[in-house]
Amino acid sequence: MDERYEGPCEVQVLLPLPLASAYDYLVPAGLDLAKGDFVVVPLGRREVVGIVWGRGSFSVAADRLKPIAARLDVPPLPLPLCRTIEWVAAYTLNPPGAVLRMAMSMSAALNSPKPTFAYRLREARAEIRLTEARRRVIAVLDSGPPRAARELALEAGVSASVVHGLAEAGIIEQVALAARPAFARPDPDFSAPDLSAYQEEAAARLRRAVHENFSVTLLDGVTGSGKTEVYFEAIAETLRRGRQALVLLPEIALTAQWLGRFETRFGVRPAEWHSDLTATERRIAWRAVAEGRAQAVVGARSALFLPFPALGLIVVDEEHDPSYKQEDGVIYHARDMAVVRARLSAIPVVLASATPSLETAVNVSAKRYQRLHLPERHGGAALPRIEAIDMRSDPPPRQCWLSPKLRTAIAETIGSGEQVMLFLNRRGYAPLTLCRGCGHRLQCPHCTAWLVEHRLAGRILCHHCGYNAAAPRNCPRCSAENSLAACGPGVERVAEEVAALFPEARSAIMASDTIGGPLAAEDLVRQVRDHELDLLIGTQIMAKGHHFPLLTLVGVIDADLGLGGGDLRAAERTYQLLHQVSGRAGRAERAGRVLLQTYVPDHPVIAALLSGDRDQFLAVESQTRRDYGMPPFGRLAALIVSGFDSAAVERVAAALGRAAPSGEGVEVFGPAPAPFALLRGRHRRRLLLKARKDVAVQPRLHEWLGRIKLPHGVRVQIDVDPYSFL
Ligand code: ADP
Ligand code: ZN
């Protein structure tokens, strides 16, 4: 099985760069390599780290081949991961090196653990003239932790002598590195709960799956039914077998509360992998995974590309969550690719959700996935009662957003010592600001988007590109004073109304821009749990995972918000989000109540939420998609053409339109201006390929793009299975 390459011979080395293919290198005599090994190779005037990918392709004359400089003392990239990288690359039409880059996003982890010294910048530096190479080394150290000489040279793209020269010149100095911290072993039998009969049945099935080959299981249960406890049992069984377990969570669901529960169950915290880790933490976690010392890992979608040598189980919690779709760089869906990695590793994958995605539900109906059902909440907690408030007959006063019914319910709830959560998925004060004098609307200079006023910060922001300016006093166009009017509500505006109506109530806003970071978020969660707050107003970041015993009323300010827009999944997503928000109410002994403010109480999504008939809703949605040949019954792929020069973008889009594939089972729509026709200063046009399920779209896309020559400055992004149509 093991592919070994004993020098002298030729191998292909895949570099973590968007190159069309792997490059051939010479394995010098005396070096013995295997597929997956990390090696240092020359590339132009630099040295880079790559992966031994296979036998040489003999595309270069032997005498022009460059030799591999060294093999790194790191465990090889596991073969199932290599195959996953190839699979993802082929499916998403990305060069394999671009996908490999996601698996090597921590070059710092690659140096051998042996050096116990690293270099850092000296506080008091000698004044000398700096060469470009020396400047690069300093820039690397300036923006990160101390690094060993070899690592520093690699990262700065310089030779080791440059680093040593800087040390001699007194610009950098050596420091001792701390010893590697050990990852404590989670104990599968540390503290197992008594499971209910339903839970035990599901857990037993998952334990069995852990001993078998590839399988996909949907763990389907209402919020609070114990899905987490049940998949913990599958993790425990994986650990007993001496294998590693990976849990994927949407980034914002990875909370101290979740980590605390893991620790309660297994005695130690799992290894973490997410965007908040420092470079050092990433290096430590990556190496611990690669060496098999980290047995349980919880992470956001990129954890899928970690080099587990003995992966035995993948859990994708909240599998329906749209944030599993990575929208830039390599565009992929982490849930779908988790299934791919599990298949290539011959291990089980568990998808958990209270509101499974339509894709998963259809796979269950087709018997491709198994389903385990947890029908009731743990401890007999009742599901919340969900009611609609018809805003046509019970409207709030002008320029207000809380209807009389919702106001009464808030007063009653707070009055009886319980807590309220108001949900509005809109940050800031108002989504649109316009001038009453001339009608001018404040718009982002770089995007097709309105600027959102953030009154607490005194700024106006673009939520798409981050453009940010002081909130103007006067209209920027007609200069009229005091003429700017806020249109519509954001959470800050609802907070203002709450403060006016309930001056005694202790309230807070929970939105990504109003809380300073994970620690502040945890503190806010603690304040709610300890009843230091009566009322919380928040966006979807508070929809997830939290468990507040005293929270008995959830008010949804605008239940219709996600329904417009014509997105393929608008109804499904709105249902999932509102269901999840509703699940925050009444998680303990006290009954919960949910009030949905809506102008369309008869809309199928609202009706399904009121009746609680999720499966009926999914059946209707699924029939509609089937009728129109939409995913998962058909295939979609989007091309997004963008660039700073709008005429060039238009020309490329038109050429793509003319070159579009046609024929049996394939249709192409567009080009059309994207809904965000201007984003971060780039002009954008979209084309959409729709194909029958039995059509392989990748070769079609490949051919199609091959017919076009891209001028400099115009980019075509390919999004296979698009989730965003903006
Ligand atoms: P879900 O993941 O389905 O939302 P959880 O696993 O978070 O459900 O369970 C909800 C709450 O009930 C948690 O506080 C959990 O610890 C508790 N719980 C669930 N099952 C049990 C059990 N068998 N024994 C003790 N507590 C349980
Ligand atoms: Zn913008």
> What are the tens digits of pLDDT across the range 147-182?
888 888 888 888 888 988 888 888 888 887 655 556
**Probe residue for ligand 1, chosen from 206, 229, 373, 581 as the CB with the greatest number of ligand atoms within 8 Å:** 229
CB 119 within 8 A of CB 108: no
Question: Which H helix or E strand runs over 507?
Answer: strand 507-510
User: 636, 651, 665, 621: which is closest to 716 by C-alpha?
Assistant: 651
Q: What pLDDT is attached to residue 544?
A: 66
Cα 467 to ligand 2 centroid, rounded to whole Å? 5
Q: What pLDDT is attached to residue 116?
A: 61
Give the CA-trace dihedral at 540, 543, 545, 550, to 10 degrees: 140
Cα 264 to ligand 1 centroid, rounded to whole Å? 12
Ligand having the closest approach to the CA of 350: 1
Question: Cβ < 6 Å from ligand 1: which residues?
Answer: 193-196, 199, 221, 223-229, 378, 547
d(CA 642, CA 633): 29
Cα 643 to ligand 2 centroid, rounded to whole Å? 15
Residues in the chain: 726
Which atom of ligand 1 is least distant from the CA of 195? 23
Ligand having the closest approach to the CA of 446: 2
- Say whether 245 sits in a helix, a strand or coil: strand
Strand order in the sheet with 385-390: 385-390, 593-598, 551-556, 419-423, 535-538, 507-510
Closest C-alpha residue for ligand 1 atom 25: 193
Ligand having the closest approach to the CA of 450: 2
CB 643 within 8 A of CB 713: yes
Ligand having the closest approach to the CA of 462: 2
Q: Say how many Å lie between the first and final Cα of the chain, rounded.
A: 46
**Probe residue for ligand 1, chosen from 201, 220, 222, 228 as the CB with the greatest number of ligand atoms within 8 Å:** 228
d(CA 693, CA 671): 23
The pair of three-digit structure tokens given for residue 210, joined into one six-digit string:
């852990």
Strands 419-423 vs 535-538: parallel, antiparallel or unpaired: parallel
Residue 129's contacts (CB-CB under 8 Å, 6 or more residues apart) are none
Q: What pLDDT is attached to residue 407?
A: 97
Cα 229 to ligand 1 centroid, rounded to whole Å? 6
Closest C-alpha residue for ligand 1 atom 23: 195
Burial of 429 (0-12, 13-18, 19+ CB in 10 A): buried
Cα 164 to ligand 1 centroid, rounded to whole Å? 57
Closest C-alpha residue for ligand 1 atom 20: 226
Which atom of ligand 1 is least distant from the CA of 225? 3
d(CA 622, CA 179): 55
The one-letter amino acid code at 333 reads H
The CA-atom distances, in angstroms, between 314 and each of 247, 311, 515, 607 are 6, 8, 31, 35
Cα 487 to ligand 1 centroid, rounded to whole Å? 42
Which atom of ligand 1 is least distant from the CA of 228? 6
**Probe residue for ligand 1, chosen from 374, 378, 582 as the CB with the greatest number of ligand atoms within 8 Å:** 378
Low-confidence ranges of the chain (pLDDT < 70): 1-2, 106-116, 126, 177-182, 543-545, 565-566, 587-588
Closest C-alpha residue for ligand 1 atom 6: 226
Rounded to 5 degrees, what angle do the CA atoms 405, 411, 413 make? 100
Ranges assigned E (strand) in 7-69: 9-14, 23-27, 32-34, 38-43, 46-55
CB 357 within 8 A of CB 320: yes
Q: What pLDDT is attached to residue 111?
A: 55
Question: Which H helix or E strand runs over 683?
Answer: strand 682-692
The pair of three-digit structure tokens given for residue 688, joined into one six-digit string:
């959409």
Residue 385's contacts (CB-CB under 8 Å, 6 or more residues apart) are 591, 592, 593, 594
d(CA 532, CA 230): 32
Q: What are the residues facing 6 on neighbouring strands?
A: 32
Cα 444 to ligand 2 centroid, rounded to whole Å? 5
Question: Which H helix or E strand runs over 336?
Answer: helix 334-345
User: 661, 657, 660, 637: which is closest to 649 by C-alpha?
Assistant: 657
The residue behind tokens 């790194």 is 72
The pTM of the full predicted model, rounded to 2 decimals, is 0.85
Q: What pLDDT is attached to residue 180?
A: 52
d(CA 218, CA 207): 14
d(CA 14, CA 43): 12
Which atom of ligand 1 is least distant from the CA of 261? 16
d(CA 632, CA 623): 11
d(CA 365, CA 621): 14
Tens of pLDDT, residues 585-621: 876 677 889 999 999 999 999 999 999 888 989 999 9
Ligand having the closest approach to the CA of 460: 2
Count Cα neighbours of 27 within 13 Å in the Cβ-side half-sphere.
Answer: 26
Q: What pLDDT is attached to residue 112?
A: 47
CB 244 within 8 A of CB 186: no
Ligand having the closest approach to the CA of 196: 1
Please count the other Cβ atoms lying within 10 Å of the Cβ belonging to residue 566: 8
Cα 461 to ligand 2 centroid, rounded to whole Å? 8
The pair of three-digit structure tokens given for residue 216, joined into one six-digit string:
């996909």
User: 211, 540, 506, 228: which is closest to 374 by C-alpha?
Assistant: 228
Three-state SS for 441-488 is ECECCCCCCECEEECCCCEEECCCCCCEEECCCECCCCCCECCEEEEC
Q: For residue 61, how far is the Cα from the chain centroid? A: 44
Q: For residue 271, how far is the Cα from the chain centroid? A: 18
Q: What are the residues facing 682 on neighbouring strands?
A: 679
Closest C-alpha residue for ligand 1 atom 11: 224
Which atom of ligand 1 is least distant from the CA of 194? 23
The phi, psi pair for 157, rounded to 5°, reads: 70, 40
Which atom of ligand 1 is least distant from the CA of 354? 3
d(CA 157, CA 556): 53
Cα 228 to ligand 1 centroid, rounded to whole Å? 7
Cα 96 to ligand 2 centroid, rounded to whole Å? 32
Q: What pLDDT is attached to residue 184?
A: 86
Cα 601 to ligand 1 centroid, rounded to whole Å? 32
Q: What pLDDT is attached to residue 183?
A: 80
